[in-house]
Homo-oligomer: A and B are copies of this chain.
Amino acid sequence: MGLDDRKLAVLRAIVEDYVATQEPVGSKALVERHQLGVSPATVRNDMAVLEEEGYIRQPHTSAGRVPTDRGYRLFVDRLSRVKPLSPAERRAIERFLVGAVDLDDVVHRTVRLLAQLTRQVAVVQYPSLARSSVRHLELVPISTTRLMLVMIADTGRVEQRLVELPAPVPANDVTDLRRLVNEKLVGSRLSETPPLVQALVEESPPQLRPAMTTLSTVLLETLVERHEERLALAGTANLTRGGLLDFQGSLRPILEALEEEVVLLKLIGEAEPSTTRVLIGDENEVDNLRAASVVSTGYGPGATIVGGLGVLGPTRMDYPGTIATVRAVARYVGELLAQN
Protein backbone atom coordinates (compact mmCIF):
# COMPACT_ATOMS: atom_id res chain seq x y z
CA MET A 1 0.00 0.00 0.00
CA GLY A 2 1.31 3.37 -0.87
CA LEU A 3 1.64 4.79 2.59
CA ASP A 4 4.83 6.76 2.85
CA ASP A 5 6.32 7.85 6.11
CA ARG A 6 4.53 11.16 6.24
CA LYS A 7 1.14 9.62 5.76
CA LEU A 8 1.88 7.29 8.62
CA ALA A 9 2.97 10.25 10.73
CA VAL A 10 -0.31 11.95 9.90
CA LEU A 11 -2.24 8.88 10.96
CA ARG A 12 -0.31 8.68 14.19
CA ALA A 13 -0.99 12.35 14.86
CA ILE A 14 -4.69 11.89 14.18
CA VAL A 15 -4.94 8.96 16.55
CA GLU A 16 -3.05 10.73 19.29
CA ASP A 17 -5.05 13.92 18.99
CA TYR A 18 -8.35 12.17 18.77
CA VAL A 19 -7.62 10.02 21.78
CA ALA A 20 -6.63 13.11 23.72
CA THR A 21 -9.45 15.44 22.71
CA GLN A 22 -12.20 13.11 21.68
CA GLU A 23 -13.01 15.41 18.81
CA PRO A 24 -12.61 14.94 15.08
CA VAL A 25 -9.29 16.42 14.09
CA GLY A 26 -8.84 18.71 11.13
CA SER A 27 -5.86 19.42 8.93
CA LYS A 28 -5.14 22.85 10.33
CA ALA A 29 -5.13 21.82 13.97
CA LEU A 30 -2.87 18.91 13.04
CA VAL A 31 -0.06 20.98 11.54
CA GLU A 32 -0.28 23.36 14.46
CA ARG A 33 0.11 20.74 17.13
CA HIS A 34 2.60 18.46 15.44
CA GLN A 35 5.75 19.44 13.61
CA LEU A 36 4.92 17.88 10.31
CA GLY A 37 6.81 20.46 8.29
CA VAL A 38 4.17 20.74 5.60
CA SER A 39 1.09 22.81 4.99
CA PRO A 40 -2.51 21.94 5.83
CA ALA A 41 -3.27 21.44 2.16
CA THR A 42 -0.69 18.71 1.89
CA VAL A 43 -1.99 17.07 4.99
CA ARG A 44 -5.43 17.19 3.45
CA ASN A 45 -4.19 15.28 0.45
CA ASP A 46 -2.64 12.67 2.71
CA MET A 47 -5.86 12.45 4.66
CA ALA A 48 -7.80 11.85 1.49
CA VAL A 49 -5.55 8.87 0.76
CA LEU A 50 -5.80 7.56 4.31
CA GLU A 51 -9.55 7.80 4.09
CA GLU A 52 -9.60 5.97 0.79
CA GLU A 53 -7.57 3.18 2.33
CA GLY A 54 -10.01 2.95 5.23
CA TYR A 55 -7.82 4.13 8.06
CA ILE A 56 -9.80 7.24 8.90
CA ARG A 57 -13.22 8.59 8.17
CA GLN A 58 -15.32 11.73 8.39
CA PRO A 59 -18.28 11.65 10.77
CA HIS A 60 -19.91 14.41 8.70
CA THR A 61 -19.01 15.95 5.41
CA SER A 62 -17.55 19.08 6.87
CA ALA A 63 -15.95 17.69 9.98
CA GLY A 64 -12.45 16.57 10.82
CA ARG A 65 -11.27 12.98 10.64
CA VAL A 66 -11.59 10.16 13.11
CA PRO A 67 -9.60 6.92 13.08
CA THR A 68 -11.41 3.77 12.04
CA ASP A 69 -10.87 0.42 13.75
CA ARG A 70 -8.49 -0.36 10.95
CA GLY A 71 -6.64 2.87 11.65
CA TYR A 72 -6.22 2.00 15.30
CA ARG A 73 -4.99 -1.41 14.28
CA LEU A 74 -2.25 0.05 12.10
CA PHE A 75 -1.41 2.49 14.86
CA VAL A 76 -1.05 -0.28 17.43
CA ASP A 77 0.90 -2.57 15.13
CA ARG A 78 3.32 -0.16 13.55
CA LEU A 79 3.12 3.33 14.93
CA SER A 80 3.27 3.07 18.66
CA ARG A 81 5.92 2.09 21.07
CA VAL A 82 4.94 0.73 24.48
CA LYS A 83 5.21 3.59 26.94
CA PRO A 84 7.44 2.92 29.90
CA LEU A 85 5.50 3.15 33.15
CA SER A 86 5.96 6.20 35.28
CA PRO A 87 7.72 5.59 38.59
CA ALA A 88 4.51 6.62 40.32
CA GLU A 89 2.61 3.86 38.56
CA ARG A 90 5.31 1.39 39.35
CA ARG A 91 5.11 2.30 43.00
CA ALA A 92 1.33 2.13 42.95
CA ILE A 93 1.46 -1.40 41.66
CA GLU A 94 3.89 -2.56 44.28
CA ARG A 95 2.11 -0.84 47.10
CA PHE A 96 -1.20 -2.22 46.00
CA LEU A 97 -0.19 -5.80 45.81
CA VAL A 98 1.87 -6.01 48.96
CA GLY A 99 0.03 -7.50 51.87
CA ALA A 100 -2.39 -9.69 50.01
CA VAL A 101 -3.21 -12.60 52.22
CA ASP A 102 -4.78 -15.14 49.94
CA LEU A 103 -5.74 -15.76 46.37
CA ASP A 104 -9.07 -14.00 46.62
CA ASP A 105 -7.31 -11.05 48.02
CA VAL A 106 -4.70 -11.02 45.27
CA VAL A 107 -7.32 -11.20 42.56
CA HIS A 108 -9.48 -8.49 44.05
CA ARG A 109 -6.60 -6.15 44.60
CA THR A 110 -5.35 -6.77 41.11
CA VAL A 111 -8.61 -6.05 39.41
CA ARG A 112 -9.10 -2.84 41.34
CA LEU A 113 -5.59 -1.74 40.67
CA LEU A 114 -5.95 -2.38 36.99
CA ALA A 115 -9.21 -0.47 36.81
CA GLN A 116 -7.71 2.43 38.66
CA LEU A 117 -4.53 2.69 36.63
CA THR A 118 -6.10 2.34 33.22
CA ARG A 119 -9.31 4.10 34.18
CA GLN A 120 -11.21 1.42 32.38
CA VAL A 121 -13.09 -1.74 33.13
CA ALA A 122 -10.74 -4.43 34.41
CA VAL A 123 -11.21 -8.18 34.32
CA VAL A 124 -9.07 -10.76 36.06
CA GLN A 125 -9.50 -14.47 35.64
CA TYR A 126 -8.73 -16.63 38.63
CA PRO A 127 -5.99 -19.13 37.95
CA SER A 128 -7.61 -21.64 35.67
CA LEU A 129 -8.33 -24.98 37.22
CA ALA A 130 -7.49 -26.62 33.94
CA ARG A 131 -3.95 -25.33 34.32
CA SER A 132 -3.66 -26.18 38.02
CA SER A 133 -2.51 -29.32 39.74
CA VAL A 134 -4.01 -30.94 42.77
CA ARG A 135 -2.08 -30.09 45.89
CA HIS A 136 -4.37 -31.73 48.37
CA LEU A 137 -7.84 -33.17 48.70
CA GLU A 138 -9.60 -33.03 52.00
CA LEU A 139 -12.72 -34.88 53.05
CA VAL A 140 -14.54 -33.43 56.01
CA PRO A 141 -17.38 -35.45 57.51
CA ILE A 142 -20.45 -33.29 57.99
CA SER A 143 -22.72 -36.12 59.00
CA THR A 144 -22.56 -39.88 58.47
CA THR A 145 -23.89 -39.54 54.94
CA ARG A 146 -22.38 -36.20 54.01
CA LEU A 147 -18.89 -35.15 53.24
CA MET A 148 -17.47 -31.82 52.35
CA LEU A 149 -14.90 -32.25 49.62
CA VAL A 150 -12.24 -29.55 49.59
CA MET A 151 -9.69 -29.37 46.84
CA ILE A 152 -6.61 -27.21 47.16
CA ALA A 153 -4.78 -26.47 43.94
CA ASP A 154 -1.16 -25.49 43.55
CA THR A 155 -2.26 -22.14 42.19
CA GLY A 156 -3.89 -21.34 45.50
CA ARG A 157 -7.42 -21.98 44.40
CA VAL A 158 -9.64 -23.81 46.80
CA GLU A 159 -12.87 -25.42 45.68
CA GLN A 160 -15.39 -27.19 47.79
CA ARG A 161 -18.47 -29.23 47.21
CA LEU A 162 -20.91 -31.20 49.26
CA VAL A 163 -21.00 -34.96 48.68
CA GLU A 164 -24.16 -36.86 49.51
CA LEU A 165 -23.19 -40.44 50.16
CA PRO A 166 -25.51 -43.28 49.21
CA ALA A 167 -25.05 -44.92 52.62
CA PRO A 168 -23.45 -44.01 55.96
CA VAL A 169 -19.68 -44.32 55.94
CA PRO A 170 -17.77 -44.83 59.18
CA ALA A 171 -14.98 -42.45 60.14
CA ASN A 172 -12.05 -44.70 59.32
CA ASP A 173 -13.46 -45.44 55.90
CA VAL A 174 -13.41 -41.71 55.32
CA THR A 175 -9.76 -41.76 56.31
CA ASP A 176 -9.15 -44.48 53.77
CA LEU A 177 -11.00 -42.61 51.07
CA ARG A 178 -8.97 -39.53 51.80
CA ARG A 179 -5.73 -41.45 51.60
CA LEU A 180 -6.68 -43.14 48.36
CA VAL A 181 -7.75 -40.04 46.48
CA ASN A 182 -4.72 -38.13 47.63
CA GLU A 183 -2.31 -40.88 46.71
CA LYS A 184 -3.81 -41.06 43.28
CA LEU A 185 -4.48 -37.49 42.40
CA VAL A 186 -2.07 -35.20 44.20
CA GLY A 187 0.38 -33.63 41.80
CA SER A 188 -1.53 -34.29 38.65
CA ARG A 189 -3.02 -31.64 36.44
CA LEU A 190 -6.72 -31.14 36.79
CA SER A 191 -7.22 -31.66 33.12
CA GLU A 192 -5.60 -35.08 33.36
CA THR A 193 -7.58 -36.38 36.29
CA PRO A 194 -10.58 -38.04 34.62
CA PRO A 195 -8.84 -41.36 33.80
CA LEU A 196 -7.21 -41.36 37.22
CA VAL A 197 -10.53 -40.87 38.93
CA GLN A 198 -11.91 -43.70 36.87
CA ALA A 199 -9.09 -45.95 37.96
CA LEU A 200 -9.66 -44.90 41.53
CA VAL A 201 -13.12 -46.36 41.49
CA GLU A 202 -12.03 -49.57 39.89
CA GLU A 203 -9.13 -50.10 42.24
CA SER A 204 -10.94 -49.27 45.45
CA PRO A 205 -11.72 -52.06 47.94
CA PRO A 206 -15.27 -53.41 47.80
CA GLN A 207 -16.60 -51.80 50.95
CA LEU A 208 -15.50 -48.38 49.74
CA ARG A 209 -16.90 -48.84 46.24
CA PRO A 210 -20.28 -47.13 46.59
CA ALA A 211 -18.85 -44.15 48.42
CA MET A 212 -15.97 -43.88 46.00
CA THR A 213 -18.32 -43.99 43.05
CA THR A 214 -20.35 -41.06 44.34
CA LEU A 215 -17.22 -39.23 45.27
CA SER A 216 -15.75 -39.70 41.83
CA THR A 217 -18.84 -38.26 40.20
CA VAL A 218 -18.64 -35.17 42.32
CA LEU A 219 -14.91 -34.93 41.73
CA LEU A 220 -15.29 -35.01 38.00
CA GLU A 221 -18.19 -32.63 38.03
CA THR A 222 -16.65 -30.07 40.33
CA LEU A 223 -13.12 -30.16 39.23
CA VAL A 224 -13.36 -30.61 35.56
CA GLU A 225 -16.73 -29.79 34.15
CA ARG A 226 -18.64 -27.16 35.98
CA HIS A 227 -17.81 -23.73 37.04
CA GLU A 228 -14.24 -24.22 36.55
CA GLU A 229 -13.44 -20.64 35.80
CA ARG A 230 -13.97 -17.63 37.97
CA LEU A 231 -13.63 -13.96 37.27
CA ALA A 232 -13.37 -10.68 39.05
CA LEU A 233 -14.54 -7.42 37.58
CA ALA A 234 -14.00 -3.79 38.54
CA GLY A 235 -14.26 -0.27 37.24
CA THR A 236 -17.58 -0.44 35.42
CA ALA A 237 -18.13 3.15 36.48
CA ASN A 238 -15.31 4.08 34.14
CA LEU A 239 -17.57 3.25 31.22
CA THR A 240 -19.34 6.51 31.84
CA ARG A 241 -16.25 8.60 31.35
CA GLY A 242 -16.25 10.51 28.11
CA GLY A 243 -19.96 11.18 28.39
CA LEU A 244 -22.08 9.32 25.93
CA LEU A 245 -19.68 9.74 23.09
CA ASP A 246 -17.98 6.42 23.45
CA PHE A 247 -20.04 3.33 22.89
CA GLN A 248 -22.40 5.28 20.63
CA GLY A 249 -24.53 6.40 23.51
CA SER A 250 -25.68 3.12 24.98
CA LEU A 251 -23.89 1.24 27.70
CA ARG A 252 -26.49 -1.43 27.59
CA PRO A 253 -24.79 -3.96 25.33
CA ILE A 254 -21.50 -3.50 27.13
CA LEU A 255 -22.99 -4.04 30.55
CA GLU A 256 -24.80 -7.08 29.26
CA ALA A 257 -21.64 -8.57 27.87
CA LEU A 258 -19.82 -7.92 31.12
CA GLU A 259 -22.34 -10.04 32.95
CA GLU A 260 -21.69 -13.02 30.75
CA GLU A 261 -18.80 -14.93 32.24
CA VAL A 262 -18.44 -16.98 29.13
CA VAL A 263 -17.95 -13.93 26.99
CA LEU A 264 -15.36 -12.43 29.26
CA LEU A 265 -13.45 -15.67 29.48
CA LYS A 266 -13.28 -15.83 25.76
CA LEU A 267 -11.88 -12.35 25.75
CA ILE A 268 -9.16 -12.68 28.28
CA GLY A 269 -8.89 -16.38 28.86
CA GLU A 270 -7.23 -17.39 25.64
CA ALA A 271 -3.85 -16.35 26.76
CA GLU A 272 -0.84 -17.13 24.67
CA PRO A 273 2.54 -17.00 26.30
CA SER A 274 3.82 -13.51 27.01
CA THR A 275 1.96 -11.77 24.23
CA THR A 276 -0.38 -8.94 24.85
CA ARG A 277 -3.47 -9.24 22.78
CA VAL A 278 -5.30 -6.21 21.50
CA LEU A 279 -8.77 -6.52 20.02
CA ILE A 280 -10.09 -3.38 18.43
CA GLY A 281 -13.77 -2.72 17.93
CA ASP A 282 -14.98 -4.81 15.04
CA GLU A 283 -12.26 -7.39 15.46
CA ASN A 284 -14.21 -8.48 18.45
CA GLU A 285 -16.36 -11.49 17.84
CA VAL A 286 -18.93 -10.57 20.41
CA ASP A 287 -21.52 -8.36 18.81
CA ASN A 288 -22.21 -6.45 21.98
CA LEU A 289 -18.62 -5.35 22.11
CA ARG A 290 -18.22 -4.03 18.60
CA ALA A 291 -17.80 -0.55 19.99
CA ALA A 292 -15.13 -1.55 22.50
CA SER A 293 -11.52 -2.58 22.58
CA VAL A 294 -9.92 -5.16 24.79
CA VAL A 295 -6.31 -5.39 25.89
CA SER A 296 -5.44 -8.64 27.57
CA THR A 297 -2.57 -10.86 28.49
CA GLY A 298 -1.77 -14.00 30.41
CA TYR A 299 -0.18 -14.17 33.83
CA GLY A 300 1.34 -16.80 36.00
CA PRO A 301 4.34 -17.66 38.11
CA GLY A 302 7.48 -17.66 36.03
CA ALA A 303 6.95 -18.42 32.38
CA THR A 304 3.87 -20.58 32.78
CA ILE A 305 0.48 -19.04 32.35
CA VAL A 306 -2.35 -19.86 34.70
CA GLY A 307 -4.90 -17.23 33.81
CA GLY A 308 -5.66 -14.07 31.94
CA LEU A 309 -6.32 -10.47 32.80
CA GLY A 310 -7.15 -7.39 30.83
CA VAL A 311 -9.13 -4.25 30.42
CA LEU A 312 -12.01 -3.16 28.26
CA GLY A 313 -12.63 0.35 27.07
CA PRO A 314 -13.72 2.48 24.14
CA THR A 315 -11.88 2.01 20.86
CA ARG A 316 -10.74 5.55 21.47
CA MET A 317 -8.25 4.42 24.06
CA ASP A 318 -4.66 5.17 24.97
CA TYR A 319 -3.31 1.92 23.59
CA PRO A 320 0.38 2.33 24.38
CA GLY A 321 -0.33 3.31 27.98
CA THR A 322 -2.92 0.63 28.51
CA ILE A 323 -0.77 -2.09 27.02
CA ALA A 324 2.13 -1.08 29.24
CA THR A 325 -0.03 -1.12 32.36
CA VAL A 326 -1.68 -4.44 31.60
CA ARG A 327 1.71 -6.04 31.02
CA ALA A 328 3.25 -4.59 34.13
CA VAL A 329 0.38 -5.66 36.34
CA ALA A 330 0.43 -9.15 34.88
CA ARG A 331 4.14 -9.42 35.57
CA TYR A 332 3.78 -8.32 39.18
CA VAL A 333 0.93 -10.70 39.79
CA GLY A 334 3.02 -13.48 38.34
CA GLU A 335 5.83 -12.69 40.73
CA LEU A 336 3.41 -12.64 43.60
CA LEU A 337 2.07 -16.06 42.69
CA ALA A 338 5.56 -17.44 42.31
CA GLN A 339 6.20 -16.68 45.95
CA ASN A 340 3.57 -19.21 47.03
Q: Which residues of A contact B (CB under 8 A)?
A: 101-102, 104-105, 135-136, 138, 140, 142, 148, 150, 152, 156, 158, 160-162, 221-222, 226-227, 234-237, 239-240, 250-252, 255-256, 258-259, 340
Complex: A148 Cα to B156 Cα, angstroms: 10
CB-CB under 8 A for A255 and B234, given A142-B136, A150-B150, A160-B158 = no
B136 touches A148 (CB 8 A): yes
Cβ–Cβ < 8 Å partners of A142 in chain B? 135-136, 152
Leading 8 A-B pairs by shortest Cβ distance: A237-B255, A240-B252, A237-B256, A158-B160, A136-B140, A236-B255, A102-B161, A138-B138
A108 to chain B, nearest CB (A): 9
Complex: A294 Cα to B116 Cα, angstroms: 28
A140 touches B160 (CB 8 A): no
B250 touches A160 (CB 8 A): no
Cβ–Cβ < 8 Å partners of A160 in chain B? 102, 150, 152, 158
Complex: A158 Cα to B222 Cα, angstroms: 15
A162 touches B340 (CB 8 A): yes
Complex: A138 Cα to B135 Cα, angstroms: 15
Cβ–Cβ < 8 Å partners of A136 in chain B? 140, 142, 148
Q: In chain B, what residue has the closest Cβ to A146? A: B340
B251 touches A240 (CB 8 A): yes
Cβ–Cβ < 8 Å partners of A251 in chain B? 237, 240, 251
Q: In chain B, what residue has the closest Cβ to A241? A: B252
Complex: A251 Cα to B240 Cα, angstroms: 7
A259 touches B237 (CB 8 A): yes
Cβ–Cβ < 8 Å partners of A150 in chain B? 138, 140, 150, 158, 160
A224 to chain B, nearest CB (A): 14
Complex: A239 Cα to B190 Cα, angstroms: 39
Quick one: which of B105, B140, B239 contacts A152, CB cutoff 8 A?
A: B140
Other contacts beyond A101-B162, A101-B222, A150-B160: 16, CB < 8 A:
A102-B161, A102-B162, A136-B148, A148-B158, A150-B150, A152-B160, A156-B162, A235-B259, A236-B255, A237-B251, A237-B252, A237-B255, A240-B250, A240-B251, A240-B255, A251-B251
Cβ–Cβ < 8 Å partners of A148 in chain B? 136, 152, 158
Cβ–Cβ < 8 Å partners of A252 in chain B? 237, 240
Q: In chain B, what residue has the closest Cβ to A137? A: B140
Complex: A250 Cα to B252 Cα, angstroms: 13
A301 to chain B, nearest CB (A): 15
Cβ–Cβ < 8 Å partners of A258 in chain B? 236
Cβ–Cβ < 8 Å partners of A161 in chain B? 101-102
Q: In chain B, what residue has the closest Cβ to A235? A: B259
Q: In chain B, what residue has the closest Cβ to A150? A: B150
Q: List 9 A-B contacts (CB under 8 A).
A: A102-B161, A104-B227, A138-B138, A148-B158, A150-B150, A150-B158, A156-B162, A237-B252, A237-B259
A239 to chain B, nearest CB (A): 7
Cβ–Cβ < 8 Å partners of A250 in chain B? 240
Complex: A104 Cα to B252 Cα, angstroms: 26
Complex: A231 Cα to B324 Cα, angstroms: 32
Complex: A104 Cα to B237 Cα, angstroms: 25
